Amino acid sequence: MKKILFFTSILFAITAYATPATQLHQQAVASAHPAATQAGLSVLNQGGNAFDAAIAVSAALAVVEPFGSGLGGGGFWLLHRQHDGKQVMIDGREVAPLAATRDMYLDSQGEPIKNASVDGALAAGIPGLPAALDHLAKHYGVLALSDSLQPAIKLAKDGFLVNEHYQRLAKFRQAVLASNDSAKAIFLSDGKVPALGTNIIQNDLANTLQLLATQGFDGFYSGELADKLVKGVQQAGGIWTKEDLARYTVKERLPVVAHYKNIKVTSAALPSSGGLVLSIALNILEQYDLSTMDEATRIHVVVEAMKRAYRDRALHMGDSDFVSVPVSELSEKSYAHTISKDLRLDEVTPSQHISGLNEIEGHDTTHFSVIDKRGNRVAATLSINYPFGSGFVPQGTGVLLNDEMDDFSIKPGTPNVYGLVGGEANAIAAGKRMLSSMSPTFIETEEKVGVLGTPGGSRIISMVLLGILDAEQGHSPESWVNLPRYHHQYLPDVIQHEPDTFKAETLLELTEKGHKLKSVGRHYGNMHAVLWDKKSNKLVAASDRRGSGAAIVESVPLSTAK
């Protein structure tokens, strides 16, 4: 691997990168859909800041990427406010309904009921995304929520065109979408996957967005819309009540901060495992000089770090408002040293073996990155979980509900749709947030600031890890987002990889070290990143070529907006 130091100076103080006097003459948005990127830019050009743009992009993605995220789902927005250096994670994760119980997806024999936590109304947690958008507008934006939601409302009324990506995911979820009249009418054509170029108009969703725009939180979580949501869910066998909606609360979390060589890495806090898993893996990897290793040894070491970090995810992590998670112990460098004592350069450390590698594509969920002309920034990863979530739309709402309940450990030791195994810490409980892998992340040195993240279920964290390692080696955002990908999540004990990630000789060497490898058959992830080089005061943005997103940097005059 080429050794060009991207972050040139090694010995920087790693706190306080806020520079209040920042004056960029550019702004950038990178997201998974051109219409969402444009929505963000248009709000910035109306005088909005990065947080207003984040509202616009989140809402636009809810319209044009219905398979990835939406008002019926949740997400995490990692914010940096430049004028005071505040960094916070807005936690708009879904919560389990109050009537949820630990064994609700198990049959009388204690076995998981097939697809019960994945398909239909019972699979849906209480959405957090609408509340989070209201929270962002109230506490961080400079525009009214109604202004930032306008581009999404227009997109919902005017429609968006079906592309191949939509077709592929609609085919994957065709059966469940066809089983619900509202979802079928919106997302399919006569029960079939719509033809390329079909215009998907969502008038009910436009009305729902309008309610949110004019009434904020109450427009979604109480009144007429809440009645429709609850009625629809209950009629379809779900357990939501109006109290669930009324009690939904956005949380502000302190992000997880790790230091890898000279880089400060800031990422998602629990209930996402992203920041902690990244921190454990980076603390292990910091003990090695990856740049001097041959390719197979480097990949082997990275895989062994992933495996150990994901093991801790399975064993210890859950919603820290409900269970005690040893966050500081897990984040210690000394802990990483202890758990990597048995890491050998020539031989694999086996995970306990379980079968059943799951092969979903990693195009569910979505990510976007924003930096505005003041240096405010947002990394946001949003989800309704599986492609098209639960496939269920309560009548008259246009809101496609998530199936995020599957991110709980339905039964300890039983893998979820991502093949992830969880433990007691992530068991279902009323009002609890399910463990996530979403990892919106900032990487910072004195001279550079990167904003990155990706969808991809359990593979999100390993993709972000590879992106950080690539950045440390001096490569550009274009490189971070397009890297060939590999992944190990402890169980199953196998390196999952894209078909063209490894050369034949590297595959052989990894096999000789004792690794099992499995191509996932296609590309996965859809990373979007922005880099700010403070020295040249220039932005660079990049969108993963696996997707059909848009990364745009624009020149702008300065204003007095924060």
Residue 338 Cα distances to 258, 276, 329, 462, angstroms:
17, 16, 11, 21
Interface with ligand GLY: number of residues (CB under 6 A)? 9
CA dist 399 and 182 (Å) reads 10
Question: Are 501 and 486 a contacting pair, CB within 8 Å?
Answer: yes
- CA-based end-to-end distance of the chain: 41
Q: Which is nearer to ligand GLY, 383 or 397 (CB)?
A: 383
Query: In the range 362-391, which residues lie near ligand GLY by CB under 6 A?
Result: 365, 383, 385
Helix (H, G, I), strand (E, B) or coil at 322: coil
Q: Which is nearer to ligand GLY, 404 or 493 (CB)?
A: 404
**Residues 216-245, mask of contacts with ligand GLY (x by CB under 6 A):** ------------------------------
Cα–Cα nearest to 410, from 427, 424, 425: 427
Q: Which is nearer to ligand GLY, 94 or 372 (CB)?
A: 94
- Our finding on whether 457 is near ligand GLY (CB under 6 A) is yes
Q: Which is nearer to ligand GLY, 216 or 455 (CB)?
A: 455
Catalytic status, residue 297 = no
- Our finding on whether 438 is near ligand GLY (CB under 6 A) is yes
Question: Are 390 and 403 a contacting pair, CB within 8 Å?
Answer: yes
Q: Which residue, chain included where needed, has tokens 């109290």? A: 243
CA dist 36 and 58 (Å) reads 8
Question: Are 216 and 63 a contacting pair, CB within 8 Å?
Answer: no
Signed CA dihedral, 81, 84, 89, 90: sign only: negative
User: Candidates 126-134, 137-145, 336-344, 435-443 — which segment interacts with ligand GLY by CB under 6 A?
Assistant: 435-443
Q: Which is nearer to ligand GLY, 7 or 408 (CB)?
A: 408
**Residues 281-320, mask of contacts with ligand GLY (x by CB under 6 A):** ----------------------------------------
Q: What angle do CA 24, 30, 34 make, to 5 degrees?
A: 125
Signed CA dihedral, 428, 218, 139, 47: sign only: positive
CA dist 319 and 131 (Å) reads 19
Q: Is 457 annotated as a binding residue?
A: yes
Q: Which is nearer to ligand GLY, 82 or 365 (CB)?
A: 365
**Residues 330-369, mask of contacts with ligand GLY (x by CB under 6 A):** -----------------------------------x----
Signed CA dihedral, 337, 338, 341, 345: sign only: negative
Q: Is 334 annotated as a binding residue?
A: no
User: Candidates 156-164, 206-214, 285-293, 430-438 — which segment interacts with ligand GLY by CB under 6 A?
Assistant: 430-438
**Residues 29-68, mask of contacts with ligand GLY (x by CB under 6 A):** ----------------------------------------
- Binding residue for ligand GLY, selected from 37, 208, 437, 543, defined by CB under 6 A: 437
Q: Which is nearer to ligand GLY, 464 or 469 (CB)?
A: 464
Question: Are 393 and 183 a contacting pair, CB within 8 Å?
Answer: yes
Beta carbon of residue 461, minimum distance to ligand GLY (angstroms, whole number): 9
- Binding residue for ligand GLY, selected from 436, 501, 526, 543, defined by CB under 6 A: 436
Q: Is 308 annotated as a binding residue?
A: no
Beta carbon of residue 256, minimum distance to ligand GLY (angstroms, whole number): 15
- Our finding on whether 407 is near ligand GLY (CB under 6 A) is yes
Q: H/E/C letters for each residue in 462-503?
A: HHHHHHHHHHHCCCCHHHHHHCCCEECCCCCCCEEECCCCCC
Question: Are 526 and 452 a contacting pair, CB within 8 Å?
Answer: no
| Cis preceding linkage at 20, omega within 30 | no
Q: Is 423 annotated as a binding residue?
A: no
Which residue of the set 37, 266, 365, 501 is catalytic? 365
Positions in the binding site for ligand GLY (CB under 6 A): 365, 383, 385, 404, 407, 436-438, 457
Residue positions forming the annotated binding site: 93, 383-385, 407, 436-437, 457
Indicate which residues carry an active-site annotation: 365
